[in-house]
Amino acid sequence: MKEPMILNHPLLQHKVSHLRDVNTGTKEFKELVSEIAMLMCYEATRDLPTQEVEITTPITTDKFKVLAGRKLAVVPILRAGLGMVDGVLALIPAAKVGHIGLYRDPASLEPVEYYCKLPADISEREVMVVDPMLATGGSASDAITQIKKRGAKTIKFLCIIAAPEGIKRLHDTHPDVEIYAAALDKCLNEHGYIVPGLGDAGDRIFGTK
Ligand SMILES: O=P(O)(O)OC[C@H]1O[C@H](OP(=O)(O)OP(=O)(O)O)[C@H](O)[C@@H]1O
Ligand SMILES: O=c1cc[nH]c(=O)[nH]1
Ligand SMILES: [Mg+2]
pLDDT of res. 69: 85
- Which residues have any ligand 1 atom within 6 Å of their CB? 77-80, 103-104, 109, 111, 131-140, 166, 192, 200-202
Backbone CA torsion sign across 100, 136, 41, 38: positive
- Strand segments, DSSP code E, in the chain are 5-6, 50-56, 61-67, 72-78, 96-97, 99-104, 111-117, 126-130, 133-134, 154-162, 178-184, 187-188, 194-195
pLDDT digits (tens, 9 = 90+) for 187-204: 999 999 999 999 999 999
Residue 68 CA to chain centroid, in angstroms?
23
Tell me if 209 sits within 8 A of 203, measured CB to CB.
yes
pLDDT digits (tens, 9 = 90+) for 105-147: 989 999 999 999 999 999 999 999 999 999 999 999 999 999 9
Q: What is the mean pLDDT of residues 157-162?
A: 98
Among residues 3, 33, 59, 26, the alpha carbon closest in space to that of 133 is found at: 33
pLDDT of res. 152: 98
Q: 132 among the known binding-site residues?
A: yes
Mean pLDDT, rounded, of the chain = 96
Distance 133 CA to ligand 1 centre (A): 7
Nearest protein CA to atom 11 of ligand 1, as residue: 103
Model confidence at 150: pLDDT above 70: yes
Any atom of ligand 2 within 6 Å of the Cβ of 206? no
For ligand 1, mutation pick of 29, 30, 84, 102 (most atoms within 8 Å of CB): 102
Query: Which letter does DSSP use for residue 124 in this model?
Result: G
Nearest protein CA to atom 8 of ligand 2, as residue: 200
Ligand nearest to the CA of 139: 1
pLDDT digits (tens, 9 = 90+) for 31-48: 999 999 999 999 999 999
pLDDT of res. 75: 98
Counting residues of the chain whose pLDDT is more than 70, the rounded percentage is 100
Confidence bin at 3 (pLDDT 50/70/90): confident
For ligand 1, mutation pick of 84, 103, 194 (most atoms within 8 Å of CB): 103
pLDDT digits (tens, 9 = 90+) for 76-107: 999 999 999 999 999 999 999 999 999 989 89
pLDDT of res. 1: 57
Angle of helix 26-44 relative to helix 10-20, nearest 10 degrees, comes to 150
Tell me if 5 sits within 8 A of 54, measured CB to CB.
no
Distance 160 CA to ligand 2 centre (A): 11
Among residues 199, 37, 48, the alpha carbon closest in space to that of 131 is found at: 37
- From the number of C-beta atoms within 10 Å of its C-beta (0-12, 13-18, 19+), residue 178 rates as middle
